């Protein structure tokens, strides 16, 4: 399995993962805002534990596996469409559905405009408003010939970094503590990537019901900074 990428592929990957790439990830906390309000996340250690749960047992586990499936399905439109439809259905709450599909749609739109590829354009056109970020990212990486492992680890790192940024603002924590959490998450991201590459979509699932509960309760949280 290829794990190396060229300089242009590295540039493209870093661009897609940059906070400046307009997908709107800063708007979402993945239920973390509710977890902070209820006192479940109050420190650097508990923020790290929350993100680890998301990556290993929650939506991160599912989305990483779907990203892998989308990347591998490039060139097989029927299978790729099945992955997209499965991903659109696999959401625990209305807010996590919005989080996934709004970012997916924004990613597809800007990528089609700036990094055009006929196959990816056709794929995204078949699923208006229903592409999740993970599937759109995996399909785009596959269409552009980017090796799977760097794309997967990059996407997981970006997902985790967004939650760290939300936690720094919500708890609140200092920027140094936020970076300590980021550094400590690398082996967790590697573990999540290994699990995603070995996953079977027929047996895929989550084991973090409290994450879904935080997301559901966030929908009626009185004051909110984030959309999820």
pLDDT at 207: 81
**Helical spans, DSSP H, in 18-75:** 32-37, 44-57, 59-73
Tokens of 140: 């785009």
Residues ≥6 apart with Cβ < 8 Å to 216: 92, 93
pLDDT at 99: 94
Distance between CA atoms of 208 and 149, rounded to whole angstroms? 25
pLDDT at 1: 60
Distance between CA atoms of 68 and 196, rounded to whole angstroms? 7
Residue 108 CB neighbour total at 10 angstroms: 25
pTM for the whole structure: 0.96
pLDDT at 2: 67
Phi-psi region of 168 (alpha: psi -120 to 50; beta: other; left: phi over 0): alpha
Residues of the chain with pLDDT under 50: none
pLDDT digits 0-9 by tens, 87-139: 998 888 899 999 999 999 999 999 999 999 999 999 999 999 999 999 999 99
Distance between CA atoms of 69 and 57, rounded to whole angstroms? 18
Distance between CA atoms of 126 and 50, rounded to whole angstroms? 35
pLDDT at 3: 76
**Nearest alpha carbon to residue 191 among 202, 181, 199:** 199
Distance between CA atoms of 111 and 115, rounded to whole angstroms? 5
Contact by Cβ (8 Å): 44, 181 = yes
pLDDT at 205: 83
Phi-psi region of 129 (alpha: psi -120 to 50; beta: other; left: phi over 0): left
CB-based burial, 22-37: b 16+ in 10 Å, e otherwise: ebebebbbbbbbbbbb
Q: Which domains does the chain have, with CATH numbers?
A: 42-218 (1.10.4190.10)
**Nearest alpha carbon to residue 66 among 6, 14, 117, 142:** 142
Distance between CA atoms of 210 and 201, rounded to whole angstroms? 23
């Amino acid at each position: 399995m290829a794990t190396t990428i060229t300089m242009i592929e590295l540039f493209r990957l870093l661009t897609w993962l940059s906070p400046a790439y307009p997908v709107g990830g800063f708007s979402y906390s993945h239920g973390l805002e509710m977890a902070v309000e209820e006192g479940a996340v109050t420190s650097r250690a508990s923020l790290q534990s929350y993100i680890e749960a998301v990556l290993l047992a929650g939506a991160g586990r599912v989305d990483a596996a779907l990203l892998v499936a989308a990347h591998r399905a490039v060139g097989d439109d029927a299978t790729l469409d099945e992955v997209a439809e499965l991903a659109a259905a696999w959401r625990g709450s209305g807010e996590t559905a919005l989080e996934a599909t709004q970012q997916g749609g924004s990613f597809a739109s800007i990528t089609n405009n700036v990094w055009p590829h006929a196959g990816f354009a056709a794929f995204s056109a078949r699923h208006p408003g229903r592409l999740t970020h993970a599937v759109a990212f995996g399909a785009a990486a596959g269409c552009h010939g980017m090796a799977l492992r760097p794309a997967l680890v990059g996407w997981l790192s970006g997902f985790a970094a967004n939650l760290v940024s939300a936690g720094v603002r919500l708890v609140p924590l200092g920027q140094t503590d936020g970076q300590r959490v980021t550094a400590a998450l690398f082996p967790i991201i590697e573990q999540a990537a290994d699990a995603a590459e070995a996953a079977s979509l027929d047996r895929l699932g989550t084991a973090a019901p409290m994450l879904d509960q935080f997301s559901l309760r966030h929908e009626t949280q009185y004051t909110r900074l984030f959309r999820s």
